[in-house]
Amino acid sequence: MAAGKNPLDPHVLFEHVQDQPFFHLPRFFAEEGADGHIYLPQPLATEIDGSDHGHGPSYEPKVEITTGVAVIDKSLKPMDFVLSKFMVIEALVVIICVVLFGWLASQIKSGAAAKGKLANLLETFCVFIRDEVARPAIGAKDADDYLPFLWTLFFFVLGCNLFGMIPWMGSPTGTLAVTAVLALMTFVAVVGIGVAKYGLAGFLKVQVPHMDLPGPVAIFLVPMIFVIELLGLLIKHGVLAVRLLANMMAGHIVLAVLIGFIGYSAAAVAWWGVAPASVLGATALSLLELFVAFLQAYIFVFLSALFIGAVVHPH
């Protein structure tokens, strides 16, 4: 943290959860005079500041003037084509999943049971998602068809959540761009399953539950219910994205606030009381965040399974 920065300032707090074109490390890990950033190469950067920071061209943050004070906006915008730390983390999660489950598949390829603590742990997660999430939500007959999608969602979300527990890394699921794409994937899967099963017209038709209504009443109510059901289909997938985003971001912001109390009180006499309390509070909250990382991955997949089950077995 740079000298003179207020650790409880919103700009400083949100640096801990925002995507960045660099990895931020404590200053004592950096060379003398460096800012503690490990900059990522930017082959597609839209703005180049002319310096390479020892790592090639870098993204140039925008500078805004607010009440006479220069504020550096380091947040990435939707059309900033830059390589960011969340992209790197997501790629690492994918690689780890491919390696782990490729190894597990090779273990059970012959039909024998996989042996070892790691294999048993991975199988426990897979069996739990199958028996406690997919089959109850979709039905034992159809659930296995959609298990690969649900397993992929679960382990990707879980991996991104757990990376947020590693100091100086970050949780990609704490940004709307990632959670929105995950929710969009579920939406595309739901619509795709419905269209494949019933056809486009049939999928739209099953959105309206069957009701025995008189003709004049049906003419008035059915279009309204159809519009409400379509809006509900969009809204519930939007809520799926926001739910994961809010839960992952909120926990990290609270952790940043607790640790920020140490820097805020550094010059105060109460520092010796505030610092231990902040560390203990952050440790306790980190344990809670570890639980939340698993819980939110479970909730995301459980809701996705419910949405799939609703289209497989409509009203």
How far is residue 115's CA from residue 204's CA, in Å, rounded to a whole number? 47
Q: What is the pLDDT of residue 83?
A: 80
Q: What is the pLDDT of residue 57?
A: 45
Which of residues 256 and 173 earns the better pLDDT score?
A: 173
For residue 191, give Cα distances in angstroms to 150, 153, 206, 306, 308: 16, 17, 12, 13, 9
Q: Please state which of the ranges 7-16, 92-101, 131-140, 241-250 shows the lowest mean pLDDT.
A: 7-16
Q: What is the pLDDT of residue 8?
A: 54
The average pLDDT across 125-141 equals 92
DSSP state of 66: E
Q: What is the pLDDT of residue 280?
A: 75
How far is residue 28's CA from residue 49's CA, in Å, rounded to a whole number? 25
Closest to 248 measured CA to CA, from 146, 163, 168, 305: 163
| Per-residue pLDDT at 59 exceeds 60 | no
Q: What is the pLDDT of residue 11?
A: 57
Which of residues 292 and 308 earns the better pLDDT score?
A: 308
Q: What is the pLDDT of residues 64-103, one digit of tens each?
A: 444 444 444 455 655 566 788 888 999 999 999 999 999 8
Q: What is the pLDDT of residue 55?
A: 44
The average pLDDT across 127-154 equals 92
Q: What is the pLDDT of residues 258-306, one digit of tens each?
A: 666 665 555 555 656 666 776 776 677 778 788 888 999 999 999 999 9
To the nearest whole number, what is the mean pLDDT of the chain?
77
The average pLDDT across 309-315 equals 82
How far is residue 137's CA from residue 134's CA, in Å, rounded to a whole number? 5
Tokens, residue 88? 């790197």
Closest to 301 measured CA to CA, from 170, 84, 138: 138
For residue 124, give Cα distances in angstroms to 85, 163, 189, 266, 306: 31, 21, 25, 46, 21
Integer-rounded Cα radius of gyration of the chain = 24
| Local confidence band at 170 (pLDDT 50, 70, 90 cut-offs) | confident
β-pairing, 22-24 vs 37-39, is antiparallel
The average pLDDT across 217-242 equals 87
Tell me, what amino acid is at 5?
K
Q: What is the pLDDT of residue 159?
A: 94
Closest to 170 measured CA to CA, from 310, 17, 301: 17
Share of the chain above pLDDT 70, in %: 69
- Give the best-scoring range by mean pLDDT among 12-16, 57-61, 123-127, 204-208: 123-127
Q: What is the pLDDT of residues 173-223, one digit of tens each?
A: 888 889 999 999 999 999 999 999 889 888 888 887 777 667 777 777 888
The average pLDDT across 226-255 equals 85
The average pLDDT across 12-32 equals 64
Q: Which residues lie closer than 8 Å to 126 by C-beta, 6 or more apart? A: 151
The average pLDDT across 2-12 equals 53
Helices (H), the chain: 10-14, 85-108, 117-128, 135-138, 143-163, 176-205, 215-264, 271-312
